Chains A and B, each alone.
Chain A
Amino acid sequence: MINKIAPDIATALAPVKDGDVVMISGFGDAGSPTELIHALIDKGVRHLTVINNNAGNGLIGLAALLKAGAVAKVICSYPRSSHSVVFEDLYGAGKIALETVPQGTLAERIRAAGAGIGGFYTKTSVGTPVAHGKEVRTIDGADYVFEAPLHADIALVKAQAADRWGNLTYRLAARNFGPIMCMAARHTVVQVRTIVALGDIDPETVVTPGIFVNTVVHEPNPMSERHAVQQGQGYP
């Protein structure tokens, strides 16, 4: 019997090791697997490369992982926000590396990795410093920049509901990078609010098919990142 549901978060995160490239879902307050990130801090792994749209907010979740000194490099599209203080301090002190990627290029590099595509040409960033050092090719009279796929060892994703095969649904704008990150990592761990019986998710409404998911953890009451940032709450 296939059962991807882990008994607890620590078991689910057993494959994560020092130096891993870790994709973390989420965009702003929506879709961050905060409980999985906090468990990663508890586990004490180091020298991670993190791929996320942003670079952490307040003192919880990704920001707490950065503060714990676990991350050597962040690959993201938009590290600046009104609450990105931890990243700004580390970056200012030269303690963390940053690769800034246009958001659509970031998404497509992740999708390409998951789909077995060896890269792609995009008009995005033509004539800007982001294109420096990259192959530019003229296709039908327009210039395109080559971008390579972005793989990861681990993806940490938050979804709404899962069954024991790892089929997933999401909620509203919390979907964002979840589906493509599930595809792109060698090992994908998903936290969900609800576990449902196999067959209870209508096949028409499955967003991420279970083939892209290795492990599911039940986290019925995920913390509110917005509330935690407003309260100045930290972790641990």
Chain B
Amino acid sequence: MTAPPKGFSAAQMAWRAAQDIPEGAYVNLGIGLPELVADHVPHGREIVLHSENGLLGVGPTAGPDEQDEELINAGKKSVTLRAGAALFHHADSFAMIRGCHIDLCVLGAFQVAANGDLANWSTGTADAIPAIGGAMDLVAGTKRVVVLTKHVAKDGAPKLVDACHYPLTGQGVVSRIYTDLAVIDVAQGTFVVQELLEGLSLADLATWTGAPVQAGQKMRRMIAEVS
């Protein structure tokens, strides 16, 4: 199998995911790629970002002269606080998560299955160090779970699969997947493609996807206004 074409950059993927977040939403961003969404919230749209380590009202990533190691996000990177921010301890933070107070979370993934199963904490091998973090709580309690990930793994294996073979984070929890190649909904056990990278056909996408893909009724080209 050949490698997929150069798709969206990390910033473009984050920008695309950020466009779908509605005004007024309380949103948790997972570690890695999802952290970048904080830098692409559309101007004028009020979204309250939650960080599992006890922050509501997280602003953009901290600049070089704003670094404070006691003001970090889930990925341990320095962030800023917006006016209106609140601080709280871990048990309250996860009460917000488990108690269904968070509208949306954006997570990374090792694998997502066509039935919405998510695996993102362990490869399950004997020498792997399992690292769950807040992901299992987030998928159990957040109203809507979306995934932001490269379409294929570093070794070229599809991340969107028929069934996860890595240990699960949650069953049937993922609603939508934003990759560098496409925007895909999980609907009735099928990957439904809503947006596709310019120059790519559905058949091309199928080559790098581990389960059948279907065209959405209004399938269109994926765009980003950043580079």
Identify the A interface with B (CB < 8 A): 27-31, 53, 77-81, 87-88, 91-92, 98, 100-105, 107-108, 110-111, 122-130, 170-180, 207, 224-226
Contacts and interface: CB of A to CB of B under 8 A. Distances in A.
Nearest to B171: A127
B155 interface: no
Contacts of A79: 129-131
Given A107-B93, A107-B94, A123-B141, A102 B134 contact: yes
14 contacts: A27-B54, A28-B72, A28-B76, A77-B134, A78-B131, A79-B129, A100-B131, A103-B94, A104-B52, A125-B140, A126-B140, A173-B72, A176-B90, A179-B91
Contacts of B171: 126-128
B40 interface: no
Interface stretch (B19-27, B63-71, B190-198): B63-71
A104 B129 CA distance: 19
A98 B87 CA distance: 30
Given A100-B132, A104-B134, A125-B136, A178 B89 contact: yes
A27 B87 CA distance: 14
B125 to A, nearest CB: 12
B70 A127 contact: no
B105 to A, nearest CB: 12
Interface in B131-159: 131-137, 140-141
Contacts of A111: 91
A195 B88 CA distance: 22
B175 to A, nearest CB: 17
Residue of A27, A171, A173, A179 with most partner-chain B CB within 10 A: A173
B134 A172 contact: no
Interface in B161-186: 167-171
Interface string B70-105: 111000100000000001111101100110000000
B111 interface: no
Contacts, number: 142
Contact of A173 (B87, B127, B137): B87
Interface residues of B, number: 37
A104 B97 contact: yes
Contacts of B133: 77-78, 102-103
A59 to B, nearest CB: 17
A46 B52 CA distance: 32
Contacts of A27: 53-54, 72, 76, 90
A224 B69 contact: yes
A101 B161 CA distance: 26
Contact of B170 (A77, A108, A127, A171): A127
A171 B55 CA distance: 12
B127 A92 contact: yes
Given A103-B94, A173-B51, A175-B89, A128 B136 contact: yes
Nearest to A29: B69
Contact of A172 (B87, B89, B132): B87
A174 B70 contact: yes
A142 B165 CA distance: 25
Given A79-B131, A100-B131, A128-B169, A30 B140 contact: no
B53 A28 contact: yes
A211 B213 CA distance: 59
Contacts of B54: 27, 173, 175-176
